[in-house]
Structure 1
Amino acid sequence: MRNFDSYVEDLKRKIEQIKRESTNIYIVNAGRMNHGKSSLFNSLLDEEIFKVGDIRMTKSRQDAMLSNNVYLVDTPGLDADENDDAVAIETYKKANMVVFVHTPEIGELHKDEINSINKIASLFPSKDYFWKHFCLVFTFKEKISEENLASIKFKILQDIKIHCGGENFPVFEVSNSRYQKGRKENKPRFVELSGIEELKAFLLNNIKIWQQDMAVLQNKRMEKLKEEARSEVLQKRCQVQRLIDIKREKNNNEENRLNALVDDFYNGVTELVNLYCRKYDEAKNLENEIKNLDKQHRDEVNNFIESLPSWRREFKDYTIESENN
């Protein structure tokens, strides 16, 4: 019962959290470690809010406001460790937009990136909804030729379509270094070529659309949450039922074992009682036979004495009397 109450309380807590966050828009990045996710969001904010570096810097979720009630959410890399993955997954559950970041310099998507996209998609109300709230961003485009970038981009889009079922989503090519240099040195051409402003405009232009479907998204997420809770409770119920069945079978086996012992004891006692009765009857019969033999012996002795001549009887009586004296 305590476990069931904890399920209910956890469900209530998650529903209240969804309601509290229903007025906010969350743009969440995704991708492998050191693919430029934090740098990208810093460029969109024009501030160094998120930590960047060659080693793993983002170890937990970090939020920063892009505009009123619109937040950029920086997540740990999906390939860092299990704890980072768990943090990122919880964040994706409430994302209004997923910005998946990949560096084309390293080539095509890795298998774990394909798996990550599918995992994130499963957290949304439906696959169709997910692909309408997903965009792909290629970072560090300055480190690869346009020809190679086009080739890698084509292959990646094919892989996403084949292995994830997604197509016709927005794709951007950006250079954070060009953007930062253009802003610092006041070179508008560098800013324009960076692709950052194009991505930022796309995100800001879609805010009203995301706000309009927030109620629908909220209801779908709560229904999904309830369904997951029902499934989890049902699974727990099945586990408990299996334990009950195992214990019931164990109790039945123990009961059968004890009943067998009682039956054996009863049969043993019954056999002993029957044996006693038989031996008692045999003893009684032997006692009766002895009595009969003794009586027969006495009768035979008396008959023998009666058959003797008188003088012999007198002698016999005298002898018996002498022996008695």
Structure 2
Amino acid sequence: MDDELNITYITLDGHVEVHKYRYLYFVIMLTVYILIICCNFTIVCLIWIHNNLHEPMYIFIAALLINSVLFSTNIYPKLLIDFMSEKQIISYSTCLFQFFLFYSLGSSEFLLLAVMAYDRYVSICKPLQYPTIMTKTTVSIFLCLAWLVPACHIAVLVIMSVDMKLCNLTLRGIFCNNSIYNLHCVSSRVRSIFGVVAVIITALFPLLFILFTYTRILIISYQSCRNVRKKAAQTCLPHLLVLISFSCLCAYDVTIVRLGSDFPKTARLIMTLQVILYHPLFNPIIYGLKMKEISKHLKRLFCQTKAM
């Protein structure tokens, strides 16, 4: 506790031999962060520039990629500072803010994937009604809800945690996730119940909705002609790959706090790095390679760059 400033500092104890490998960690993480920004914004810019990509499906993809960059920006700058610092610490208020952004943006990804699943469902199962259903207003409302609903839920959890008394000032992690609950002297039943409700609304319901819509798409596609099946495969497969990847990483994050000290420190670090390293790069690679129109524009872009 800092008596003069009255600030509570949390020690981030998830690093492994950071003083020995600080420069290696720093170079690797800085390189990955630059790659995340470049890869995601390359596709976002392509969608912005080309008129034939100004469709709901591509707008939702752009929103998802922007969400990935924001998600990474919440983690990487602080992580890079920690690698070059003697002590890996963070104030409790900053920790709560990082916790808020981490879960707010993470939940937004589930909702964005749910919106994308609905867009594919309407496009494939109700093609004649698609222009009247997926209007610019509808797309704007979906995007706003995808970011605002999780933000409101997580904000309530953060407000509940602000005045909680801390009995432990060491966090077993490299950034602030749900492990902050282990810092509190007593657990709040109200907060736990609200947290479960938030997970159900922002993660479980969207996941079940996605499974339902893709099941319907699969049934309709199987009963339709070859062109419909091909369209469904081209546009739905990338979304499913991203969903499976993100769901596995979220399952780890939810269960890790339950395992506590039983989970080895090195294994915990490796799994945590999967969340912040692998997934933000996975999204642009999958959409860049698997989405036909985006892949076409990427090839043209790289061909022009080589020609110059």
* TM bin (shorter chain): under 0.3
Higher strand share: 1
Higher relative contact order (CA 8 A, sep 6+): 2
Larger Rg: 1
TM-score by length of 1: 0.24
TM-score by length of 2: 0.25
